[in-house]
Amino acid sequence: MSLTVFILSDGTGITAETFAHSILSQFNLKFRLLRLPFIDSRIKAALAADRINQTALESERRPIVFTTLVDPVLNEMVKGARALVMDIFQTFVEPLEQELGIEASHAIGRGHWTADSEAYCQRIEAINFSLAHDDGQSDHNLEQAEVILIGVSRSGKTPTSLYLAMQYGVRTANYPLIPEDFERGALPGPLAAYKSKLFGLSIDAYRLSQIRAARRPGSRYAALENCRAEISAAQTLMERENIPYLCSTHKSIEEIATTVLQECKLEKVIY
Amino acid sequence: MSLTVFILSDGTGITAETFAHSILSQFNLKFRLLRLPFIDSRIKAALAADRINQTALESERRPIVFTTLVDPVLNEMVKGARALVMDIFQTFVEPLEQELGIEASHAIGRGHWTADSEAYCQRIEAINFSLAHDDGQSDHNLEQAEVILIGVSRSGKTPTSLYLAMQYGVRTANYPLIPEDFERGALPGPLAAYKSKLFGLSIDAYRLSQIRAARRPGSRYAALENCRAEISAAQTLMERENIPYLCSTHKSIEEIATTVLQECKLEKVIY
């Protein structure tokens, strides 16, 4: 392991870490990613610089450092380290100051989700809502759902619901489509009143069979023929009821959630 | 609303959106954030450029555009729009190419969590694990937990557990500390074998009382005196058992999760 990448932040550094990971994924190399969070004092900045220098001594390559420190004194301490130091916030803050004609606050920790803010409370409420309305376990307050995901068991509803709540503060319920629904040829009863909020997840039968078999090997539930029949019946039902749906097979939670937000026109845009 | 900020990506654009939001939070102004995901063809890039130009015509300020498009042809189409266009990936890719002596792949969609990858499957497994082990509902497979959060009801265990699973693929269980545990003066039985995996959440009594009152107004459960007694008993128990804990009151999920990862030495660092 020759390349170490440091993420330095006065907050959690999670945004910078995800960003750095995306950029480094464009290179075909292995690297070690070390996030050094909460760097909010001279002593912590000095310790971080020491750690970077120590790593430089021990490695073939000098380390790469992504910093988002807003305190210029601390940032300068870090920039003196033996590394390629890239200041990922300041690089964009300066052109924005020019464009907007106002100065950046250089305040620490004004990230996406500051605790105690109204947006943060809404987000926690959304997580609680989505948990309480996972897998059709409760119809209580269902009118407060912003979107209701439907689909056969193990089509990806639960992780997508939790992600929409966690990342976007969107109150997301989800209901399974089960054989009784197909026999009746109708949506689960409580959903009839909320048709405009429904979005479906489908999945490839072979993949579904694999996922189910990992939970209940050898079961009828996991059998390929049964998966195929359930998926076909679910698609027939969604098409007849004009419910938009996507196939989740090769999509990440982020990709599914992005499509749901677009299709359901749920993007929250004003900050 | 005079400022519109566009995020253009050939993937979901969620990383770029979070990043742009963090930067813009440093400015004291309101803005509208529009994410245009899945821009992976000339026609989509042309439509995006049209939309930016139309917004420029209708606004007092020209829009700001953050792009992460890796296809240079599509990127040039967007850079011709009437906006301040900032190429947030390329800005760092070029110095990295120089530093590392290798060329970036310019491949689309090699983000943090590509579906079908092993890391992605581990992440989905972690989400399922954390849900199944929420609020002490199951001791099954508890030995597979990487961390077990404990604390009184509504101290922040559930959102933190789900976040650790969702963002970091860390299998996180959580157990409530309840009056029976305090009377017995011992941790919940199943936890005795996993003391090294335990991390505690505490909370300010006044805040806890508010949170509980929103769920069960006027209850003994929510009464300030009762909250104070539970928190005190929980802290006594955690201190006697040498379990590290933090106070979650003014911390976001991200901040709590970051501290848990640090204290439990759970950072996954190799990519």
pLDDT tens digits, one per residue of A155-212 = 999 999 999 999 999 999 999 999 999 999 999 989 999 999 999 999 999 999 999 9
Query: Can you tell me the ipTM of this complex?
Result: 0.92
**Which of B19, B110, B162 faces A15 most closely, judged by CB atoms?**
B19
Could you tell me if A138 and A132 are in contact, meaning their C-beta atoms sit under 8 angstroms apart?
Answer: yes
* B109, two tokens: 């969609």
Q: Do B258 and A107 touch (CB under 8 A)?
A: no
Three-state secondary-structure class, residue B253? helix
User: A3-17, A257-271, B62-76: which has the minimum mean pLDDT?
Assistant: A257-271
Residues B88, B92, B93, CA angle at the centre, nearest 5°? Answer: 105
> Is the confidence at residue B110, as pLDDT, over 60?
no
Could you tell me if B107 and B101 are in contact, meaning their C-beta atoms sit under 8 angstroms apart?
Answer: no
Cα(B266)–Cα(A132) distance, rounded to whole angstroms?
29
Q: Do A12 and B88 touch (CB under 8 A)?
A: no
Q: Measuring CA to CA, which residue among B260, B120, B124 is closest to residue B200? A: B260
pLDDT tens digits, one per residue of B17-52 = 999 998 998 898 889 999 999 999 999 999 999 999
Cα(B160)–Cα(A128) distance, rounded to whole angstroms?
12
User: A83-87, A238-242, B86-90: which has the minimum mean pLDDT?
Assistant: B86-90
Q: Measuring CA to CA, which residue among A195, A198, A184 is closest to residue A264? A: A198
Interface mutation target, options A3, A8, A27, A158, chain B, most CBs of B under 10 Å: A27
- Give residue A118's pLDDT: 83
pLDDT tens digits, one per residue of A226-244 = 999 999 999 999 999 999 9
- Give residue A117's pLDDT: 81
- Give residue B160's pLDDT: 97
- Determine the residue type at B118: E
The answer to whether A151 is annotated as binding is: yes
User: A91-100, A163-172, B110-119: which has the minimum mean pLDDT?
Assistant: B110-119
Nearest CA in chain A to B268: A33
Q: Measuring CA to CA, which residue among A177, A130, A17 is closest to residue B127? A: A130
- Give residue A48's pLDDT: 97
**Which of A12, A23, A107 faces B89 most closely, judged by CB atoms?**
A23
Q: Cβ of B22 under 8 Å from any chain A Cβ?
A: yes
> Is the confidence at residue B207, as pLDDT, over 90?
yes
**Closest approach of B184 to chain A, Cα-based (Å):** 30
Say which residue, A46 or B118, is predicted with more confidence: A46
Q: Cβ of B196 under 8 Å from any chain A Cβ?
A: no
Residues in A touching B128 (Cβ below 8 Å): 158
Q: Above pLDDT 70, what percent of chain B?
A: 96
The answer to whether A152 is annotated as binding is: yes
- Give residue B90's pLDDT: 87
User: Do the strands A172-176 and A147-151 form a parallel or antiparallel pair, or are they unpaired?
Assistant: parallel
Could you tell me if B28 and A102 are in contact, meaning their C-beta atoms sit under 8 angstroms apart?
Answer: yes
**Which of B35, B115, B167 faces A14 most closely, judged by CB atoms?**
B167
CA dihedral angle for residue A188, residue A190, residue A193, residue A194, rounded to 10 degrees: -80
Whole-number Cα distances in Å, A253 to A216, A264, B109, B113, B271: 23, 16, 13, 9, 20
* B264, two tokens: 């439990």
Cα(A175)–Cα(A198) distance, rounded to whole angstroms?
10
Q: Above pLDDT 70, what percent of chain A?
A: 96
Q: Do B254 and A107 touch (CB under 8 A)?
A: no
**Closest approach of A22 to chain B, Cα-based (Å):** 5
User: Do the strands B84-87 and B172-176 form a parallel or antiparallel pair, or are they unpaired?
Assistant: unpaired
* A50, two tokens: 């020491």
Q: Above pLDDT 90, what percent of chain A?
A: 83
Segment B68-74 mean pLDDT? 92
Q: Do B92 and A64 touch (CB under 8 A)?
A: no
- Residue A267, C-beta contacts closer than 8 angstroms, at least 6 positions apart: A261, B34, B35
Cα(B63)–Cα(B56) distance, rounded to whole angstroms?
6
Could you tell me if A123 and A169 are in contact, meaning their C-beta atoms sit under 8 angstroms apart?
Answer: yes
Q: Cβ of B246 under 8 Å from any chain A Cβ?
A: no
pLDDT tens digits, one per residue of B223-255 = 999 999 999 999 999 999 999 999 999 999 999
Instruction: Assign A42 a pLDDT band (cuts: 50, 70, 90).
Output: very high
Could you tell me if A173 and A133 are in contact, meaning their C-beta atoms sit under 8 angstroms apart?
Answer: yes
Three-state secondary-structure class, residue A20? helix
Residue ranges of B 52-91 with Cβ closer than 8 A to chain A? 61, 64, 68, 70, 84, 86, 88-89, 91
The answer to whether A156 is annotated as binding is: yes
Whole-number Cα distances in Å, A251 to A23, A230, B16: 20, 20, 19
Residues in B touching A100 (Cβ below 8 Å): 3, 27, 29, 61
* B212, two tokens: 């509980």
User: What element of type H or E holds B200?
Assistant: strand B198-202
Q: Do B89 and A26 touch (CB under 8 A)?
A: yes
Q: How many CB atoms lie within 10 A of CB B217?
A: 8
Segment A209-227 mean pLDDT? 96
Could you tell me if B85 and B67 are in contact, meaning their C-beta atoms sit under 8 angstroms apart?
Answer: yes
**What is the DSSP code string of A142-202?**
GGG-SEEEEESTTSSHHHHHHHHHHHH---EEEEE--HHHHHHTS--GGGGGGGGGEEEEE
Cα(B79)–Cα(A61) distance, rounded to whole angstroms?
34
Q: Which domains does chain B have, with CATH numbers?
A: 4-100 (3.40.50), 118-263 (3.40.50)
What is the helix, strand, coil percentage profile of chain B, to 5? 50, 15, 35
Q: Do A14 and B258 touch (CB under 8 A)?
A: yes
* B240, two tokens: 């006697």
- Give residue A111's pLDDT: 54
Burial B168-189 (b: 16+ CB within 10 A, else e): bbbbbbbbbbeeebbeeeebbe
What is the helix, strand, coil percentage profile of chain A, to 5? 50, 15, 35
Nearest CA in chain B to A248: B115
**What is the DSSP code string of B97-117?**
HHHHTS-----TT--SS-TTS
DSSP B270: B
User: Do the strands A84-87 and A32-36 form a parallel or antiparallel pair, or are they unpaired?
Assistant: unpaired
Residue ranges of A 97-156 with Cβ closer than 8 A to chain B? 99-100, 102, 104-107, 110-116, 120, 124, 127-128, 131, 134
